[in-house]
C-alpha cells in the first residue's frame, strides 16, 4: 500500500517520551518554591550548596520549617510574609475607577492598586509597581475592547476602611487596612475577599547583580533560589529581569464547588490541592497525557467559576506567564477541629462553606476580574464581554471531519471521499497532516504526492466538501527556501537571549519559530494565505494550527526556553501561554483577508488562551485509544465550554493506538454529541475509516453520524446563541438546574443546549447506564422511543451497541432535518421536522436560527431568520423572534411530533397566511402518547399555527 511505503520513508515520528521527568513538578518551579537546600533529618541541620551561601535578600521570602518535613526556601507557597498597608488617604476617583497606594512598611516598596466597576456586574482589580524601573508586561489583545466602567463613589468611611459603591448600590467594594483586605459585597453580603490570608506577593523589578551570572549550568554562582537563573535538567534559564513573580489569594464565601481552568485531563469539579500538586497553566505538548493530572496541557484559560444554588461567580486572572493555582475547599460537612487539637477536642466549630484560591504567576502584573453573575448565563456573558463571544462557525465545520496523519496522496484522498458516499456516511471535511508538504515546509505541497492540489480541492468542492491542511509555527531552516529567507530578512523569527535567531528542533529538524506576538509579523504571516501567494490553495482550503504551544523537541519541557526574546524585548516567559493564541489570530486574519472579509474562516488550534473562542475551534490534543480517554473527554470539554471555548471536541477513536471496535463505536456516538466532531489517527496506527470494521460497526457509526447531521439545525441555533449571548452549546447540568445540588458534581452526562440531555456510554460491555434526570416535576423523553420519565431521580437506562442515552426535556422544541444528506450543503435543501415535548402544563418552546451558513451577511446585512416555536393550550405557534433579520431559506416544516399528548385529538388544523386547513396525515400512538402530524409543507419563515383539538 502507498501508506506503508510512506511510513517507511518519512522520519516523522512521535518524539521519545522520557516519562514524567520531562515536565516539571510544582516543587521544581522556582517562583512557587525553592527546594535548593539539602535536609539531613537525623542531624536536624541544613546543608548548604558547595558555595556555602545563598541569597535571601529579595523580599518577600521565607525559610520554612514545618514539623516532620524538610525545610525549603519558599517564595509564593508560604504563609504571611509581607503585610502591605493600603494608604487610604491616597485614594483618587476618576471616570475609570479608583486607585490608591499600597506600601510595604519594611522595604518601603510601593504598589498601585486600581479598582474598576464594569457596568455588567464585573469588578476589575489591578496591582502594579508604583514606580517600576522598567515597564512590566501587561497582556494585550486578549480583551476584546476597553471595558466600560461605572463611576465609583465613597459610600462609607470608617477608621481603617472605606467602602466604594456604584450603580444602584447592589454591589460595593471595601478596602480595609488592618489587616489589608479587599472585599466585594453583593447586596450587603461579602461574596469575595481578596488577600484574606495575606498572600499578596509582588516581586519588584531590579537591576541585575554584579558581576553578571554565568550561563554555565554547573558553575556555582550563589543563586540557588532561581531568582536570576533557574536550572531544570540540562536546561538553564537566564532571567534578564530577575525575579518578578506575582500572586494573590481569594476567598469565595459560601462556595464549595469550583470549575473551569482548562486545560487539564482531570475531573470537571476542581479538586482541593492541599495534598497534591497545584493546578498548572503552562501550555505544553504532552503526548498521551496522564489522566487525572494537574499538569498543564496544550492550552490555558485562567478562568475559574464557582457555583452555589443562588449564585454563580467567576475569577479571571489575566496573566500569560506560567501560572499556578492552589485550591482549598471547605464546606458544611463534619465539624472541623482547631489546628493541632488532640482528641478529645476542647471545642468543635463548624466551618462554613467557602473556597480559598491562591493564584501565582511567574511574571507580569496582577490583573484580575471578579464576575458577579448571579446566574450562570450572566457569568458567561460577563466573561464574553471581556474576552469576546464564540465565533459564529461556518455550517460545514459542524459536520463530521475525517483526518489522518497522513492521507498519502491525491488518489488516497479521493478514494476516502468516495468511500463515505459508498457507505452512506455523511461528512464535510477531509484533513491533511504534515506529510502533504514539501519536506515539512508549510505553505508548500509535496510535488510527487500532491502535484495538483487545486484540482483536488475542486474535486472535493464539486461534492460540497472542504480540505483542511496543517500549518505549524516553526519554519525549516533552509537557505534555499524563499519563504524562510523572507521571514529571516523581515525579522519575523523569535530570537535567543544573545540576539541571534532562536533555533529549535521540530518536525523539519532545525527550525526557527515565527514571532506571532509582533503585529507586523502577524500581518506578514496572514498575507501568506493569499491565493496568489499560497500556491496550490483555493478558497475551499482551511487551516489547522498544530504544535503551537510551541512544541520544541529539544527544548525545556519540550517547549521554547523562557529566556527567548520576542519583539519589543519581551522574554518568552512573559507571554508563553499567548503564543498559540497569536498564531490562531494571524491565521484567522489571513483567511478573512483571503475572502475580502466576506466569508467566515475555519481554523482549528491545539494551543489556546482566554479569547481564543472568538477565533475558532480547539480540540483536546493527542489522546489515546482507551476507554479512560473517552471518559475523561467529557469533563475536559465541559471545562472548556464554561470558560468560553464553546467550539471544542476530542478526537474520535483516540489519536494514538488502535481502538477495539466497541470503543470506536462508543467514541463516534459520543463525538456526534460534541460541538467539534473529528476522527483522527496517527501514522503508526491502522487505517480507521468507519467502514473498515465490519457491517455491524459501520451501521452503528453510520447511525451516529446521520443523527448528528439531522440534528445540525439545533446545533447551529445553539452556536448562534453562543455567538450572541455566550451560552455554550455543551453545558453541565447545574447550568440548567442551578439550585439542584445533586447536579453539581455530575461530569459523565451533560446538556446540549436546554433541550437535550446526553449520557454517552464510556464503559466497555455496558448493558445499562445510570442517568440522573434532574428537576422534580419535570418530564424527560427518550429521543428514540418517546418513553417519558419523571425528573428528580436516577434511572437505569438499557443500552446496546446501537444506542446512547439521549433525552429531550419536557417543555422544549427541537428542530431537525428530515434526512441527513451526504454533507451540510445537502441539508440546506431538506425540510424540517419538529419534536415538541410537552411539560406537565402542556407547554413547550424552542428556537430555530437560519442564515446562508458561510458568510457574514447575517451580521453585516441582517440576512438571518430567528424563529420561535411555542406551544400553549394546544396551539403551536411559529413567530419571528428577532425582527431585525430577514432571510428567505426556502425551507418548510414537513412534520411535527408531539410527545406527551395524553389523548387522541378529534382534529388537527393548520393555519398560515389566514388560510385554515385540516391536517389529514395524523397518527396517534396511545402506548407512547405521541402525536405525529405530517404532510404540512409550512414555510418556516412565515407565521403559522397548528391547533390540536
Catalytic residues: 546, 549, 622
Check: CB of residue 818 under 8 Å from CB of residue 831. yes
Task: Provide the Cα torsion 345, 348, 353, 357; round to 10°.
Answer: -40
Check: CB of residue 193 under 8 Å from CB of residue 183. yes
Residue 328: strand pairing partners: 356
Record the cell numbers describing residue 349, joined without a space.
466549630
Check: CB of residue 815 under 8 Å from CB of residue 878. no
- Residues 920-931: b if buried by 16+ CB within 10 A, e if exposed: eebebeeebbbb
Question: What Rg value do the Cα atoms of the chain yield, rounded?
Answer: 29
Closest CA relative to residue 744, chosen from 729, 734, 754, 752? 734
What is the secondary structure of 744-813 as a DSSP string? Answer: TT--S-EEETTTEEE----STT-SEEEEEE--TT-EEEETTT--EEESSEEEEEE--TT---EEEETTEE
Rounded to an integer, what distance in angstroms lies between the CA atom of residue 540 and that of residue 884? 31
Task: Say whether the peptide bond before residue 27 is cis (omega within 30 degrees of 0).
Answer: no
User: SS3 string of 475-544?
Assistant: EECCCCCHHHHHHHHCCCECECCCCCECCEEECCEEEEEECCCCHHHHHHHHHCCCCCCCCCCCCCEEEE
Closest CA relative to residue 800, chosen from 765, 773, 770? 765
Rounded to an integer, what distance in angstroms lies between the CA atom of residue 357 and that of residue 196? 10
Strands 246-253 and 354-361 turn out to be: antiparallel
Phi then psi for residue 349, to 5 deg, are -130, 145
**56: three-class secondary structure by DSSP:** coil
Closest CA relative to residue 66, chosen from 74, 75, 76? 74
- Residues 864-892: b if buried by 16+ CB within 10 A, e if exposed: bbbbebbbeeeebebeebeeebebebebe
Report in angstroms the alpha-carbon separations of 573 from 35, 293, 364.
Answer: 21, 23, 9
- Residues 760-793: b if buried by 16+ CB within 10 A, e if exposed: bbbeeeeeebebbbbbeebbbbbbeebbbbebee
Closest CA relative to residue 392, chosen from 148, 720, 745? 720
Amino acid at each position: 500500500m502507498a501508506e506503508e511505503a510512506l511510513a517507511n520513508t518519512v522520519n516523522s515520528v512521535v518524539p521519545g517520551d522520557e516519562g514524567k521527568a520531562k515536565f516539571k513538578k510544582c516543587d521544581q518551579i522556582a517562583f512557587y518554591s525553592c527546594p535548593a537546600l539539602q535536609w539531613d533529618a537525623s542531624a536536624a541541620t541544613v546543608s548548604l550548596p558547595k558555595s556555602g551561601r545563598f541569597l535571601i535578600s529579595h523580599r518577600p521570602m521565607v525559610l520554612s520549617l514545618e514539623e516532620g518535613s524538610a525545610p525549603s526556601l519558599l517564595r509564593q507557597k508560604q504563609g504571611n510574609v509581607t503585610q502591605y498597608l493600603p494608604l487610604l488617604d491616597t485614594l483618587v476617583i476618576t471616570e475609570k475607577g479608583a486607585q490608591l497606594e499600597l506600601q510595604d512598611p519594611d522595604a518601603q516598596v510601593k504598589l498601585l492598586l486600581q479598582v474598576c466597576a464594569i457596568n455588567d456586574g464585573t469588578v476589575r482589580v489591578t496591582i502594579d509597581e508604583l514606580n517600576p524601573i522598567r515597564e512590566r508586561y501587561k497582556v494585550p489583545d486578549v480583551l476584546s475592547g476597553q471595558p466600560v466602567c461605572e463611576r465609583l463613589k465613597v459610600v462609607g468611611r470608617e477608621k481603617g476602611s472605606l467602602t466604594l459603591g456604584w450603580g444602584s448600590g447592589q454591589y460595593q467594594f471595601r478596602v480595609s487596612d488592618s489587616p489589608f483586605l479587599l472585599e466585594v459585597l453583593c447586596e450587603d453580603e461579602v461574596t469575595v475577599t481578596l488577600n484574606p490570608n495575606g498572600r499578596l506577593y509582588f516581586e519588584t523589578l531590579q537591576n541585575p547583580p554584579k558581576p553578571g551570572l554565568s550561563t554555565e549550568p554547573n558553575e556555582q554562582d550563589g543563586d540557588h533560589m532561581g531568582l536570576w537563573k533557574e536550572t531544570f535538567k540540562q536546561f538553564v534559564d537566564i532571567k534578564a529581569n530577575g525575579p518578578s513573580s506575582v500572586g494573590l489569594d481569594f476567598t469565595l464565601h459560601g462556595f464549595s464547588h469550583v470549575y473551569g481552568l482548562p486545560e487539564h485531563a482531570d475531573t470537571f469539579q476542581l479538586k482541593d490541592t492541599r495534598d497534591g500538586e497545584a493546578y498548572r497553566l503552562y501550555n505544553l505538548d504532552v503526548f498521551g497525557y496522564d489522566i487525572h493530572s494537574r499538569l498543564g496541557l496544550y492550552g490555558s484559560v485562567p478562568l475559574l467559576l464557582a457555583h452555589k444554588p443562588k449564585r454563580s461567580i467567576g475569577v479571571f486572572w489575566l496573566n500569560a506567564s506560567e501560572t499556578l493555582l492552589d485550591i482549598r475547599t471547605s464546606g458544611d460537612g463534619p465539624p472541623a477541629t482547631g489546628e493541632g487539637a488532640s482528641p478529645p477536642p476542647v471545642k468543635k466549630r463548624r466551618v462554613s462553606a467557602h473556597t480559598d484560591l491562591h493564584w501565582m504567576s511567574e511574571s507580569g502584573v496582577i490583573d484580575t476580574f471578579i464576575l458577579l453573575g448571579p446566574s450562570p448565563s450572566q457569568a458567561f456573558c460577563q466573561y464574553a464581554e471581556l474576552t469576546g463571544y464564540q465565533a459564529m462557525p461556518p455550517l460545514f465545520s459542524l459536520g463530521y471531519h475525517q483526518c489522518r496523519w497522513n492521507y498519502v496522496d491525491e488518489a488516497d484522498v479521493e478514494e476516502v471521499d468516495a468511500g463515505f458516499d459508498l457507505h452512506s456516511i455523511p461528512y464535510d471535511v477531509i484533513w491533511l497532516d504534515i506529510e502533504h508538504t514539501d519536506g515539512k515546509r508549510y505553505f508548500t505541497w509535496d510535488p510527487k504526492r500532491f502535484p495538483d492540489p487545486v484540482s483536488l480541492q475542486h474535486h472535493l468542492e464539486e461534492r460540497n466538501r472542504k480540505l483542511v491542511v496543517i500549518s505549524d509555527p516553526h519554519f525549516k531552516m533552509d537557505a534555499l527556501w524563499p519563504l524562510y529567507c523572507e521571514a529571516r530578512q523581515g525579522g519575523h523569527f523569535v530570537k535567543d537571549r544573545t540576539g541571534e535567531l532562536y533555533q529549535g528542533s521540530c518536525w523539519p529538524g532545525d527550525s526557527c519559530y515565527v514571532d506571532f506576538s509582533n503585529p507586523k509579523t502577524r500581518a506578514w504571516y496572514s498575507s501568506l494565505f493569499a491565493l496568489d501567494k499560497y500556491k496550490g490553495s483555493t478558497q475551499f482550503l482551511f487551516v489547522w494550527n498544530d504544535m503551537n504551544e510551541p512544541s520544541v523537541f529539544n527544548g525545556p519541557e519540550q517547549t521554547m526556553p523562557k529566556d527567548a526574546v520576542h519583539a519589543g524585548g519581551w522574554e518568552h516567559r512573559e507571554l508563553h501561554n499567548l503564543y498559540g493564541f497569536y498564531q490562531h489570530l494571524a491565521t484567522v486574519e489571513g483567511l478573512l483577508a483571503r475572502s475580502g472579509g466576506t466569508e467566515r474562516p475555519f481554523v482549528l488550534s491545539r494551543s489556546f488562551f482566554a479569547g481564543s473562542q472568538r477565533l475558532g475551534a480547539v480540540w483536546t490534543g493527542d489522546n489515546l485509544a482507551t476507554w479512560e480517554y473517552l471518559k475523561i473527554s467529557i469533563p475536559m470539554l465541559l471545562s472548556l465550554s464554561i470558560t468560553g471555548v464553546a467550539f471544542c471536541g476530542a478526537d474520535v477513536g483516540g489519536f494514538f493506538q488502535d481502538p477495539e471496535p466497541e470503543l470506536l463505536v462508543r467514541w463516534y456516538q459520543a463525538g456526534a454529541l460534541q460541538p467539534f466532531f473529528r476522527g483522527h489517527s496517527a501514522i503508526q496506527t491502522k487505517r480507521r475509516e468507519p467502514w473498515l470494521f465490519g457491517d455491524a460497526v459501520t451501521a452503528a457509526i453510520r447511525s451516529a453520524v446521520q443523527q448528528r447531521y439531522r440534528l445540525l439545525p439545533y446545533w447551529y441555533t445553539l452556536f448562534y446563541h453562543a455567538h450572541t449571548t455566550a451560552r455554550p452549546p455543551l453545558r453541565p447540568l447545574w447550568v440548567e438546574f442551578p439550585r439542584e445540588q445533586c447536579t453539581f458534581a455530575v461530569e459523565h452526562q451533560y446538556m446540549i443546549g436546554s433541550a437535550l440531555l446526553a449520557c454517552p456510554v464510556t464503559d466497555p460491555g455496558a448493558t445499562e447506564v445510570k442517568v440522573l434526570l434532574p428537576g422534580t416535576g419535570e418530564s424527560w423523553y427518550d429521543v428514540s422511543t418517546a418513553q417519558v420519565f419523571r425528573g428528580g431521580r436516577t434511572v437505569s437506562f438499557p443500552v446496546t451497541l446501537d444506542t446512547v442515552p439521549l433525552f429531550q426535556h419536557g417543555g422544549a422544541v427541537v428542530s431537525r432535518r428530515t434526512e441527513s444528506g451526504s454533507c451540510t450543503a445537502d441539508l440546506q435543501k431538506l425540510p424540517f421536522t419538529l419534536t415538541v415535548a410537552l411539560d406537565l402544563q402542556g407547554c413547550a418552546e424552542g428556537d430555530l436560527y437560519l442564515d446562508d451558513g458561510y458568510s457574514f451577511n447575517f451580521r453585516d446585512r441582517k440576512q438571518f431568520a430567528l424563529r420561535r416555536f411555542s406551544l400553549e393550550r394546544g396551539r403551536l405557534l411559529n413567530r419571528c423572534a428577532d425582527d431585525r433579520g430577514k432571510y428567505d431559506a426556502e425551507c418548510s416544516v414537513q412534520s411535527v411530533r408531539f410527545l406527551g399528548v395524553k389523548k387522541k385529538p378529534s382534529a388537527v388544523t393548520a393555519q398560515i397566511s389566514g388560510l385554515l386547513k385540516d391536517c389529514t396525515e395524523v397518527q396517534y400512538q396511545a402506548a407512547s402518547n405521541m402525536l405525529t402530524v405530517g404532510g404540512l409543507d409550512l414555510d418556516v419563515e412565515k407565521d403559522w399555527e397548528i391547533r390540536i383539538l
